[in-house]
Amino acid sequence: MSVDFEKIKELVQLVERNRLTELAIENEESSIVIRAESAAAPNIAMPMAQATTFVEVQPCEHPTVEPVGEVSPQPSSSEHLVKVTSPMIGVFYRAASPDSPPYVEVGDEVEEGQTIGLIEAMKVFSEVPAEVSGRVVEIPAENGKLVQQGDVLVVIDTSGK
């Protein structure tokens, strides 16, 4: 089954923008259901995280890890601090599994290209690489929480390099 992720992203944005509770689309090959989760409803689709929106694509394939496209570092007010931002909407995870240690901690030295976390979108886990080398000074994104495209995940100080 071929999945057009850009179309799904547009559908998710349509649901969020119009505050829909559910959008279902079916054809001969597949079906897709996008549901906005109410604040009072328990989170069944993503037990590790609270999400405002989730997408269900059928038939379901096994999760794969794919590198995320370009993540452009955003310099902050200090020229030595680089903010690594989320390339997409999804759930941010600091570790590969609940039993694994986090990819990075505050104070860790990271190299360009090193994985700093994962974004789960539509049951696909995408690695988020550090775009610069330096020392992690802040991790504003919370583990297991929904992040929007452009949200700051990790702040790296490049002054020591």
Q: Domain containing 140 — which CATH number?
A: 2.40.50.100
Q: Which sign does the torsion angle of CA 122, 34, 71, 4 carry?
A: positive
Highest mean pLDDT among 2-11, 30-39, 117-126: 117-126
144: domain range?
66-157
Domain edge (last residue) among 38, 61, 84: 61
Residues 50-72 have pLDDT tens digits of 444 455 555 544 444 455 544 44
Q: How many domains does the chain have?
A: 2
Per DSSP, the residues of 80-96 read TEEEEE-SSSEEEESSS
Q: Any idea which of 49-63, 68-82, 95-109, 114-128 has the lowest mean pLDDT?
A: 49-63
Percent of the chain with pLDDT over 90: 37
Cα 138 from Cα 82, distance rounded (Å): 10
